[in-house]
């Protein structure tokens, strides 16, 4: 079984994003970047399936600027076999990303595509679902457990009422949630080995995908600062304060 894992280069989750002075977007200058945490979970799950003898090859693919090669090297150091970098000057919108990935899938013919449910920079939560629609493949989103069995994949996902288990015929799309696993740290020997693993470079034009923007960002602003709390002496005062602030009918 071959597994394709899309990964995205984003601002490290420990870094507080800064809005540009002109409010046109988030300032990425001199900011630590890393693999999207949900994508790390996807890579880890693919590696675990390979270690369990359920998969033969893991291919990581990233779309973005040349520096996204660093993100691919991280995936290779974790245990993926090879990488594909689709070089784009500006990060394409989710639909364009899904269209590029659909073309990559056509070339690679994977049995599973495992990707993070969303990226922490835009929180769109769209690419997995769009990719499944473009390919007309079954999908299991927000997976908290993945179990291949008898040519199918059982995906347990968290829903409002508890847990739901889906049985998907392969090939299939799976998007990962936080509780699926705990990603490993790449060891120094594996980091060194990753430098020799192959990465193919492509462009959106190679796949015939138009990445022109369909959406316009009007303004990016900081969220309002949280006001300091207030200690009240009793419940009656608390209720009065709530009514005063307009939080209760």
Give the pLDDT of the chain (249 residues) as one tens digit per residue: 999 999 999 998 888 888 888 888 888 888 898 999 999 999 999 999 999 999 999 999 999 999 999 999 999 999 999 999 999 988 889 999 999 999 999 999 999 999 999 998 888 899 999 999 999 999 999 999 999 988 899 999 988 888 999 999 999 999 999 999 999 988 899 999 999 999 999 999 999 999 888 888 888 888 888 878 888 899 999 888 888 877 654
**145: helix, strand or coil:** strand
Q: How many CB atoms lie within 10 A of CB 201?
A: 12
For the chain, the domains span 2-245
For 207, counting Cβ atoms within 10 Å of its Cβ (0-12 exposed, 13-18 middle, 19+ buried), the class is middle
Note the pLDDT tens digit of each residue in 180-217. 999 998 889 999 999 999 999 999 999 999 988 888 88
Closest CA to 12 of 120, 171, 88: 120
What is each CA distance from 184 to 14, 41, 87, 181, 212, in whole angstroms?
Answer: 17, 9, 27, 9, 36
CB of 87 closer than 8 Å to CB of 66: yes
Q: What is the pTM of this model?
A: 0.85
Choose which CATH entry (3.40.50.620, 3.30.2290.10, 3.40.50.300, 3.40.47.10) describes domain 2-245: 3.40.50.620
């Amino acid at each position: 079984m071959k597994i394709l894992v899309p990964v995205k280069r984003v601002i490290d989750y420990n870094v507080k994003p800064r809005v540009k002075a002109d409010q046109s977007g988030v300032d990425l200058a001199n900011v630590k970047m890393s693999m999207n945490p949900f994508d790390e979970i996807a890579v880890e799950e693919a590696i675990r399936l390979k270690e369990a003898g359920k998969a033969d090859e893991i291919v990581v693919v990233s779309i973005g600027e040349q520096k996204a090669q660093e993100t691919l090297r991280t995936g290779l150091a974790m245990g993926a076999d090879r990488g594909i970098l689709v070089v784009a000057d500006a990060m394409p919108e989710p639909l364009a990303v899904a269209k590029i990935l659909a073309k990559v899938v056509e070339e690679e013919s994977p049995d599973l595509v495992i990707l993070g449910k969303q990226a922490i920079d835009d929180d769109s939560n769209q690419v997995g679902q769009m990719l499944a629609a473009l390919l007309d493949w079954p999908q299991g989103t927000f997976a908290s457990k993945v179990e291949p069995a008898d040519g199918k994949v059982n995906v347990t996902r968290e829903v409002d009422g508890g847990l739901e288990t889906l049985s998907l015929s392969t090939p299939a799309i799976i998007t990962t949630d936080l509780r699926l696993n705990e990603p490993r740290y790449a060891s120094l020997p594996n980091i060194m080995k990753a430098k020799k693993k192959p990465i193919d470079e492509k462009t959106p034009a190679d796949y015939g995908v138009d990445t022109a923007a369909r959406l316009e960002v009007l303004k990016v602003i900081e969220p309002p600062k949280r006001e300091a709390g207030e200690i009240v002496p009793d419940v009656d005062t608390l209720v009065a304060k709530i009514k005063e602030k307009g939080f209760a009918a």
